[in-house]
Structure 1
């Protein structure tokens, strides 16, 4: 994947990081099916866990785990990956996680799901486990044709720090999970193209100056508005969204120059709200289900993804349709202007959503 270069300064060191972006907050909850009572129960999935610590050298992309599946044309599988990494340096090093699926000929199947964040150093104490940075990513694979597909969890490290260093994927805490059965009728959302350096000023920004004060991801950001039909046999439905955010401090190579208002260190705060809306017969909102969070994105982290999820949503027959709309509200609160990242290199999705049917147990 081709990504752009971002410059970071820490302890008088400058690390130039080629990256696509990151998770900050809680791990994304999995989609669920339901039993006869309508209570959510876990979908059967297989989790492959990294058996031994695996080094990720600077400038390298390492295949960590892989799952091979034989799928019918149109069959869908939800994959979730977790990469937990430590570092041998106190400097800032870029870390990217990708879930990439290949067909039998070795060609990549769109889309690739990616997340990343700067590992802020072996002495960092702001992670849940000091020095241990976890990343998560979600992908909905839809087989374009019948055949064998291999999905790979990859990790990449990058920086211009001098000297020898590497990141390490931690055994037991790094894993790739994939559904064992078809996710009938599930739907994938992704927002428009937005390259890291945004040379064409095509990205969506929220903040001060020329940026918008707020935006609706998947709704007014150039994404075609999609109305999803819940399956007739679904007892409930669920939705999740991963929204990738980047701070636009002065001198960064990850934003349009016109969006850089403050020196590095200002940080940013945004409010987000995932809405999953059941529509009525006129196409207007009948039932709105939502979850909100306040997100802080530091300039040291620079990139972060906010996870949101709703599960066990009833399909209300009084609405007259089984049609749903997904959107995510992003509002700037304070600090740096923030870029909402999109698809890079035509294939790698940094901001995305998934809707699932949840069927009664038989």
Structure 2
């Protein structure tokens, strides 16, 4: 990377913040009708590349479903994006569902990360940044619900450029049948700039050294009852982390200890715990990962999943608890993102029943 390019990136990153505004634009037509997968899931894929101009939110794919009151559907979206610039451009993926009156139901699931440029070689496919988001739609009333996959690009870079959603690799999946008894978790409110100091941080200085997502955030711990007919269960969690380098607009100023370029390393452990009759752990199922979050990427989502978990009758209950352990290892202080603008969830989890 040339000295000029590094200087431009540093200047842009100092001003760049993840902006997640809960706006709604008229849904676009589905780009591809798709085909039912495995008899229970329909995937709709983007048929042709679609540009995402700077400062715009673009509706990429949609599916409309007619649901009974209380019916639940799991939606999973993937946005793979390329860039026409070697500079850094923010990217946000959203999965949003609206009712017939145009109101968002119940929340917007989002993931965000900076696209580090068309010359980036650290992605699985050079220059191609993939993001995923999961949403559990629970219909409050009977009716039609339209779910949309959206992409937003944002940057203070000068000039003309855009991101592009890649055909085929950008898709929206939705269940074709009810996810009976499934449950949604989300992190508490945490605005981008965190002016009120509501967010949870792990790192040095005034930050905590570690934290438990969904468990010690000051809100009541949520427990989940597996369905009486379920034989096994599964769970997933998406945890968004943001590095707090000096000058960023995405963290409280008190948490900005180092200049940009320090990066951050954290250890995470996703746990789904079956409790005993005293409310203590009986069987703990977990998966761990060490994650590096660079200051160029700035935001990074960790996707964790556990499936085929047996329900142990010896525990005496069918009660489960979900939590994610996040421990700072080195580098920048890291913010654990939550709900922005009261509606957009960046860190969330879902538990599912699995029936014979």
- In 2 relative to 1, CA 10–348 (structure 1 residues): closer, same or farther, beyond 3 Å? farther
- SS at structure 1 position matched to 2:254: helix
Could you say which residue in structure 2 is the equivalent of 1:161? 157
Per residue, is there more strand in 1 or in 2? 1
Instruction: Check 1:286–1:43 CA distance in 2 against 1; reply closer, same or farther (3 A cut).
Output: farther
| Aligned pair partner of 1:348 in 344, 349, 352 | 344
- Cα distance in 1 for partners of 2:8, 2:138 equals 46
Distance in 2 of aligned mates of 1:238 and 1:217: 18
Question: Which residue does 1:63 correspond to in 2?
Answer: 59
Distance 1:322 1:10 in 2: 54
1:148 maps to 144
CA shift in 2, pair 1:18/1:335, >3 Å: closer
Query: TM-score, normalised to structure 2's length?
Result: 0.91
The match for 1:184 among 163, 180, 185 is 180
CA–CA separation in structure 2 for the residues paired with 1:274 and 1:43 = 29
- The correspondence of residues 1-362 of structure 1 with structure 2, limited to 5 A, is 10-13=6-9, 14-15=11-12, 16-19=15-18, 44-360=40-356
Query: 2:8 & 2:244 partners in 1: Cα distance?
Result: 20
Secondary structure class of the residue paired with 1:148: strand
Shift of 1:116: 1.1
Asked if the contact 2:17/2:248 (under 8 Å) is kept, the reply is no
- Contact 1:276 / 1:325 at 8 angstroms: preserved in 2? yes
Report the Cα offset of residue 223 of structure 1: 3.3
Between the aligned partners of 1:43 and 1:207, the Cα distance in structure 2 is 45
SS in structure 2 of the partner of residue 12 of structure 1: helix
Partners of 2:16 and 2:248 within 8 A in 1: no
Moved over 2 A (4+): 9-18
Distance 2:84 2:132 in 1: 21
User: How far has the Cα of 1:191 moved from its partner?
Assistant: 1.0
Task: Describe the shift of the 1:187–1:197 C-alpha distance in structure 2 as closer, same or farther (beyond 3 A).
Answer: same
Q: Gaps spanning 5+ residues in structure 1: where?
A: 1-8, 22-40
Please, what TM-score do these two structures have when normalized by structure 1?
Answer: 0.90
CA distance in 2, matches of 1:300, 1:10: 10
* 1:184 Cα deviation from its structure 2 partner: 0.1
